[in-house]
Amino acid sequence: MVSIELVNYIKAPASLIYQVLTTEEGLAKIWTKKLIVKPEVGFINEFDFNEAEITKMKIIELQENSRIYWECVDSDKEWIGTRVSFDLSERNNQTAVILKHSDWRAVTEYYQWCNYNWSMFLQRLKTQCESLVQFGS
């Protein structure tokens, strides 16, 4: 099993980043506008990327302002059974966001494409959160 592991540093409080990553309003600004999201353990978030499958992520764990952990229960066949976590740690007026997409069965072209897209996701998260801090949320 392989993982995608990325980090980005965001000049925003962990509480703001947590809110963006756990709400429809927040995720719609950085991932897809077609979604059903509820910040509740056991809930299955749905993300529609205009592909054959709707990506469904079951919320396994939520630790307010520090951790979000999902398991993919439906999506592209390479995603099913994989897990995505976001670990947040705040220090020196910024928050480190560690994204880990684990339990991939193989390094494929799709895995590599997703690695790139998760990097873009973290960049959009950074831009969104830092603009909210700069201009007030």
pLDDT in tens, the chain (137 residues): 899 999 999 999 999 999 999 999 999 999 999 999 999 999 999 999 998 889 999 999 999 999 999 999 999 999 999 999 999 999 999 999 999 999 999 999 999 999 999 999 999 999 999 999 987 65
Helix (H) / strand (E) containing 85? strand 83-91
Q: pTM of the entire structure?
A: 0.94
What stretches of 1-137 show up as alpha helix (H) in DSSP? 14-22, 24-30, 109-135
Backbone angles phi, psi at 7, to 5 degrees: -135, 145
The pLDDT score that the predictor gives to residue 136 is 67
**CATH number, position 88:** 3.30.530.20
The pLDDT score that the predictor gives to residue 137 is 55
Domain with 64, as residue range(s), is 2-135
Measured N-to-C along each axis, helices 109-135 and 14-22 cross at an angle, to the nearest 10 degrees, of: 120
The pLDDT score that the predictor gives to residue 58 is 98
Q: Looking at the 3D structure of the chain, how many domains does it have?
A: 1
What type of residue sits at position 86?
Answer: F
The pLDDT score that the predictor gives to residue 48 is 95
